[in-house]
Amino acid sequence: MGAAVQLQSAVERFVGAPVRKMLIDGKWVEAASGKKFETINPATGQVLARVAEGDKEDIDRAVRAARRAFDDGKWARMNPTERQRLLLRIADLIEANGDELAQLETLDNGKPFTESRHVDIPASAETFRYYAGWVNKIYGETNPSDAAFFNFTLREPVGVCGQIIPWNFPLLMCAWKLAPALACGNTSVLKPAEQTPLTALRLGELLLEAGVPAGVVNIVPGFGPTAGGALVRHPMVDKIAFTGSTEVGKEIHRETASTLKRVSLELGGKSPNIVFSDADPEAAVQGALLGVFFCAGQVCCAGTRLFVEQKIHDQFADKLAKTAADMKQGPGLDPETRIGPLVSQEQLERVTGYLEVGKKEGAKALIGGERNTGKGLEKGYFVKPTIFTGVRNDMKIAREEIFGPVVSVIPFKDENDAVLQGNDTAYGLAAGVWTRDVSKAHRVARALRAGTVWVNCYNVFDASAPFGGYKESGYGRELGRYAVDLYTQVKSVWLQI
Ligand code: NAP
Ligand code: MG
Atom of ligand 1 nearest to the CA of 231: 20
Quick: pLDDT tens for 16-45.
Answer: 999 999 999 999 999 999 999 999 999 999
Res 237 pLDDT > 60: yes
Closest protein CA for atom 14 of ligand 1: 224
Q: How confident is the model at residue 4 (pLDDT cuts 50, 70, 90)?
A: confident
**pLDDT in the model for residue 2:** 58
The response to whether residue 243 sits with its C-beta less than 6 Å from ligand 1 reads: yes
- Ligand 1 site, residue 268, Cβ cutoff 6 A: yes
- Mutation pick for ligand 1 pocket among 246, 248, 267 (CB with most ligand atoms within 8 Å): 248
pTM of the entire predicted model = 0.98
Which residue type occupies 132? Answer: A
CA within 13 Å, CB half, 200: 34
Residue 232 Cβ inside 6 Å of ligand 1? The answer reads yes
- Biggest alpha carbon–alpha carbon distance for the chain: 80
369 sits in the region (left: phi over 0; alpha: psi -120 to 50; else beta) called left
Percent of the chain, pLDDT > 70?
A: 99
CA angle 348–350–356, rounded 5-degree value: 100
Mean pLDDT score, 331-351:
97
User: What one-character DSSP code corresponds to residue 470?
Assistant: S
Question: 438-447 vs 415-423: helix axis angle to the nearest 10?
Answer: 30
List b or e across 309-347, with b for residues whose CB sees 16 or more CB atoms inside 10 angstroms.
beebbeebbebbbeebeeeebbbbbbeebbbbbbbbeeb
pLDDT at 1 over 60: no
* Residue range 88-98: mean pLDDT, rounded: 98
Residue type, 416: N
Q: Is 29 left (phi over 0), alpha (psi -120 to 50) or beta?
A: beta
Q: Write out pLDDT tens, residues 417-463.
A: 999 999 999 999 999 999 999 999 999 999 999 999 999 999 999 99
Single-letter amino acid code for the residue at 42: P
Mean predicted confidence (pLDDT) in 368-384: 98
Q: What is the pLDDT of residue 5?
A: 83
Residues labelled as active-site residues: 266, 300
Ligand 1 pocket residue status of 53, Cβ below 6 Å: no
CB of 427 closer than 8 Å to CB of 451: no
Q: Is the dihedral of CA 97, 103, 106, 107 positive or negative?
A: negative
φ, ψ (nearest 5 deg) of residue 242: -130, 135
Mean confidence (pLDDT) of the chain: 97
Average pLDDT over residues 326-348: 97
The string of DSSP codes covering 92-126 is HHHHHTHHHHHHHHHHHH---HHHIIIIIHHHHHH
pLDDT in tens, 147-197: 999 999 999 999 999 999 999 999 999 999 999 999 999 999 999 999 999
**What is the sign of the dihedral through the CA atoms of 76, 78, 80 and 86?**
negative
One-character DSSP codes across 348-361: HHHHHHHHHHHHHH
CA distances from 458 to 97, 289, 307 (A): 28, 9, 14
Give the whole-number percent of the chain exceeding pLDDT 90.
Answer: 99
- pLDDT (0 to 100) of residue 469: 98
